[in-house]
Every structure is written in C-alpha cells, then in structure tokens.
Amino acid sequence: MLKKLVFSTSAITITLLSGTIANAQNFDGVYSGSWDGTKTAMSCDLDYQGSDGGPNVIYQQQYFGVESYCDLKNPTSIRGIDGILYDAECSEEGSTSTSRMLLIRSFDQVFMHHHGSMRELFVCR
C-alpha cells in the first residue's frame, strides 16, 4: 500500500511540475527589426538578419538580434501571464555576458525585457 501511495504521489508531482515548466519554443518567430513595428523592405527579410534594421529572430531557445546572439536557458513560466523568464548567455559585438531576459506575449507582438529596458518585438507576417 505504501509503495502504491508513493508511486501515485510521485506521478501527481511529476504531472504538476511538467505543467509549470515553460515551453521554450513558445516565442519562436521572426520579428520586425524596426523600433516602431513598421515593416520595411529589410525589417522582416532574413537576408538582413544581424544588420541594423534587419529582423530579430527567436528560434529553439536562441535569440538573434543586431550583432548579438543569446542562448536562452532555464525557462521559467510566469504565473498568470503568457511569459517566460530566461537566463540569457549572450555574445554582443565581441563580448559575452550573462543576464536575465523576460519574454511576454501580447496579441500581435512580444515584449522583451533585457538589460534593464523593455522592447516591443512585432511579429512579421
């Protein structure tokens, strides 16, 4: 009986925990590189990714910005909102850093809080 109770408790705990683990692929997409969300000839064109005005890309726990790249690790769901907090290991213009990155989904955009500032990332269509 005790063995069955321990197994049942463990199964319930694993089920509950798996529901709180963030889906790291949740924000995968191409986002306009313009600061105001306007779509220019290059803001959503992957040929310009990494260049000023080119798109930002989130793909498989990686963020690609202008001359920057971050591995997004340890995804943590934010209770009550569609948001995920990551440990970001970044390489920017030749230097490396570790910081936190928060991504929050809104209707047609993603809000990104990183290095003390909030930015809107507008979905390319």
Which tens digits make up the pLDDT trace of 73-103?
999 998 888 899 999 999 988 899 999 999 9
pTM for this entry: 0.75
Q: CA angle, corner 62, sides to 46 and 105, nearest 5?
A: 85
Whether the per-residue pLDDT at 38 is higher than 60: the answer is yes
CA dihedral over 31, 34, 35, 37, signed as positive or negative: negative
Mean of all residue pLDDT scores within the chain? 80
Which pLDDT band holds residue 9 (cuts at 50, 70, 90)? very low
The Cα–Cα gap between 98 and 90 comes to: 6
Which pLDDT band holds residue 37 (cuts at 50, 70, 90)? confident
The Cα–Cα gap between 72 and 85 comes to: 9
